[in-house]
């Protein structure tokens, strides 16, 4: 997920020489891949060492308000990380912002990944893998579609932001009042973050400057991660209803 990127910059990828444009896109997707590897490695480490279960039981299941605090920390932290990743910052600060961003997503995903992957909770190690494969397929298809059409989808930004605030309100209500969001909500969230992937990919082609590969990769990683999150929830909900 990205902040709104408005207007063309004089040195945007869309107006840069082909060699610079290709180099920017390559750097962006290499950073996305690196963020995914770091996220998967950190999550696997937490689960394999049992730390994820301690976090789940001693923090999130012990106190419902812990979920609310996590959401506040996550939202505030991601805004801070996005600010750190701007090109006007030093390279070290940009990468620190990316590291913070990946860490926040890892913390947010630890509870659901623990439940989904461990047999003692009715999960299976194959479940996150299956959700990951579907996420990769959707991500790849949407990315290819945007690059092939070359269309500027920046008009989606305000629409996605309004939908995100509405979804956040529903999620906060679910946390506070303890009701299940259900399959329909998860399916709508999958559609929302598919829209974010289209929007972020379009911005990479048309809006970002050629020195903003860290910020661009961060936005795309966040959208892909949230797409994975809700696809995984769909898989878990479908399993529970069988």
**Could you report the per-residue pLDDT of 118-146, keeping only the tens digit for each?**
887 777 888 999 999 999 999 999 999 99
Q: Report pTM.
A: 0.88
Residues 230-234 have a mean pLDDT of 93
For residues 8 and 206, the answer to whether their CB atoms sit within 8 Å is yes
Q: Map out the domains of the chain as residue ranges.
A: 18-241
- Per DSSP, the three-state class of 136 is helix
Percent of the chain with pLDDT over 90: 52
* Euclidean distance between CA atoms 235 and 239, whole angstroms: 6
pLDDT of amino acid 166:
92
* Euclidean distance between CA atoms 84 and 95, whole angstroms: 8
Q: Is the pLDDT of residue 26 over 50?
A: yes
Q: Is the pLDDT of residue 88 over 90?
A: no
Please list the residues that pair with 12 across neighbouring strands: 209
Q: Is the pLDDT of residue 99 over 60?
A: yes
* Euclidean distance between CA atoms 209 and 12, whole angstroms: 4
Q: Is the pLDDT of residue 7 over 50?
A: no
Between the alpha carbon of residue 109 and those of residues 29, 52, 169, 225, the distances in Å are 22, 10, 19, 9
């Amino acid at each position: 997920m990205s902040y709104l990127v408005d207007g063309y910059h004089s040195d945007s990828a869309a107006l840069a020489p082909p060699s610079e444009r290709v180099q920017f896109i390559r750097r962006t997707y290499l950073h996305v891949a690196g963020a995914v590897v770091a996220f998967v490695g950190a999550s696997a480490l937490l689960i394999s060492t049992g730390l994820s279960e301690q976090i789940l039981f001693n923090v999130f299941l012990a106190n419902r308000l812990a979920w609310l605090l996590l959401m506040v920390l996550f939202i505030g932290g991601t805004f801070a990380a996005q600010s750190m990743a701007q090109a006007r910052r030093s390279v070290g600060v940009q990468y620190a912002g990316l590291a913070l961003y990946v860490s926040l997503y890892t913390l947010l995903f630890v509870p659901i990944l623990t439940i989904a992957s461990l047999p003692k909770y009715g999960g299976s190690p194959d479940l996150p893998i299956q959700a990951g494969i579907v996420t990769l397929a959707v991500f790849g298809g949407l990315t290819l579609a945007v690059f092939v059409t070359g269309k500027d989808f920046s008009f989606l930004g305000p629409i996605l932001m309004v939908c995100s605030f509405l979804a956040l309100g529903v999620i906060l209500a679910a946390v506070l009042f303890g009701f299940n969001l259900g399959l329909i909500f998860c399916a709508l969230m999958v559609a929302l973050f598919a829209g974010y992937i289209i929007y972020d990919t379009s911005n990479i082609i048309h809006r970002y400057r050629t020195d903003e590969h860290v910020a661009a990769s961060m936005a795309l990683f966040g959208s892909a991660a949230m797409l994975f999150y809700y696809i995984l929830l769909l898989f878990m909900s479908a399993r529970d209803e069988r």
